[in-house]
Amino acid sequence: MATVYDVLIVGAGFAGLTIAERLCTRHGLRCLLVERRRHIGGNAYDHLDDHGVRIHAYGPHYFRTNSDRVVEYLSQFTAWHPVQYRVKSFTDGRYWSFPINLETFEQFIGRPATSEEMEAWLAEHRVPIDQPANSEEIIVSQVGWELYEKFFRGYTLKQWKRHPRDLSPSVCGRIPIRTTRDDRYLREKFQALPAAGYTALFDRMVAACGDALTLMLDTDYREIAPNTDFRHLVYTGPIDEFYDYAFGDLPYRSLRFEKEGFTPGQLAERQPISGKAGFWQPAMQVNYPNDEDFTRIVEIKHATGQDCDNTTIVREYPHDYTRGREPYYPVPSPDAEAIYEKYRSLAAVGTLPEVFTAGGISRAGVNASFVGRLATYRYYNMDQVIALALEKAEQIGEMSRPKGLTT
């Protein structure tokens, strides 16, 4: 007889793993976690590459949060390596301090300046807009047209293949603008990476579950759905795919990563540029807003603090999304939101697609939850996904208790 699981969880990213860990260890539920990639961790997966350098396989993941609860939760599974995430921008043939701060302003006017001077300049150049309605408006209302065009317009067009005018204010509005010398990329109070990497953290989450968790890698849930018995479904994949694109494809942006490794001998020549032995570029991330096809070059060794003589850089090329590619970024725009709303309505009433009924198992009373970046089509950071997953696990745990769901 087939095993009956309390919960079938689709996707072993931060959302699926957090829910699995909580349900298994705190609520004593039996979970099946199904992941179609060959590894756990979703887009936050990291590993050592051929040069022995720890890289983030699906683009750099800068962990940061203001949530004590999220830090406390993850600290059960990892120690931390504190980081000040530093970014530069390369345009007009030179590196600029970024995000825009007093040093950027000094580079821009070609001489030393004070915060007061910068504030006066901004006051003169910013465009008065009371309630910025899109990404262009939010930036020009803070810094005016010239700095917007130098640092934001080209980058955003490349990244999203949409004009900043057609993107919600949150896309560009995430980036701080300061009149001090504070050049930290991010605002959150806690900024650190898991000391031994994300994958080690994920491995510990899985280990904590013990026998209560069955993990299947390299498996699409559709392969096992018809014949798997469960009481609750947690889905963390793309919601349009789940409903077989019934309302059309949601727009996503995809990416192509181009990696290049360097030995200490090669790096010695770069030292005048990187300013530091063992590194290729002067900061963890350099943005290329205007003249290149890629948007950024990331040298994550700056942030991981790994003790390694080699280094690896990754050029990131935005790519159109078509089915079969990785849907990296939901597109935060009103037209995309309108399509998502239709899928959300289906999800809200718990409609399950046919694949679940094909095997003849009754799904009466089965609940479905949609959690995470792709399932709720939200541009969430890791900490937000973890916080939502912790909440969802509590709800599912509570829901399961009175009915005494066991195998």
Ligand X SMILES: Cc1cc2nc3c(=O)[nH]c(=O)nc-3n(C[C@H](O)[C@H](O)[C@H](O)COP(=O)(O)OP(=O)(O)OC[C@H]3O[C@@H](n4cnc5c(N)ncnc54)[C@H](O)[C@@H]3O)c2cc1C
Where along the sequence are the contacts to ligand X (CB under 6 A)?
10-16, 34-37, 42-44, 58-63, 220-221, 236-237, 255, 328-329, 372-374, 380-383, 385
Shortest separation between residue 256's beta carbon and ligand X, angstroms: 11
Shortest separation between residue 116's beta carbon and ligand X, angstroms: 33
**Looking at beta carbons only, is 55 or 118 nearer to ligand X?**
55
Token duo for residue 330: 């939901």
For 224, phi and psi rounded to 5 degrees? Answer: -110, -10
Between vectors from CA 289 to CA 142 and to CA 378, what angle results, nearest 5°?
Answer: 70
Shortest separation between residue 328's beta carbon and ligand X, angstroms: 4
Nearest to 238 by CA among 8, 15, 58: 15
**Looking at beta carbons only, is 121 or 185 nearer to ligand X?**
185
Nearest to 155 by CA among 295, 34, 254: 295
Between vectors from CA 344 to CA 61 and to CA 30, what angle results, nearest 5°?
Answer: 65
**Looking at beta carbons only, is 145 or 294 nearer to ligand X?**
294
Burial, 213: exposed, middle or buried (Cβ in 10 Å; 0-12, 13-18, 19+)?
A: buried
DSSP state, residue 323: B
Shortest separation between residue 36's beta carbon and ligand X, angstroms: 4
Shortest separation between residue 318's beta carbon and ligand X, angstroms: 10
Alpha-carbon distance of 225 to 324, in angstroms, equals 20
**Looking at beta carbons only, is 59 or 164 nearer to ligand X?**
59
Q: Which of helix, strand or coil describes residue 45? A: coil
Residues 288 and 296: beta-carbon distance below 8 Å: yes
**Looking at beta carbons only, is 139 or 388 nearer to ligand X?**
388
Helices (H) and strands (E) in the chain, counts: 14, 17
Shortest separation between residue 62's beta carbon and ligand X, angstroms: 4
Shortest separation between residue 79's beta carbon and ligand X, angstroms: 19
Query: Other C-beta atoms within 10 Å of 317: how many?
Result: 15
**Looking at beta carbons only, is 125 or 378 nearer to ligand X?**
378
**Looking at beta carbons only, is 179 or 381 nearer to ligand X?**
381
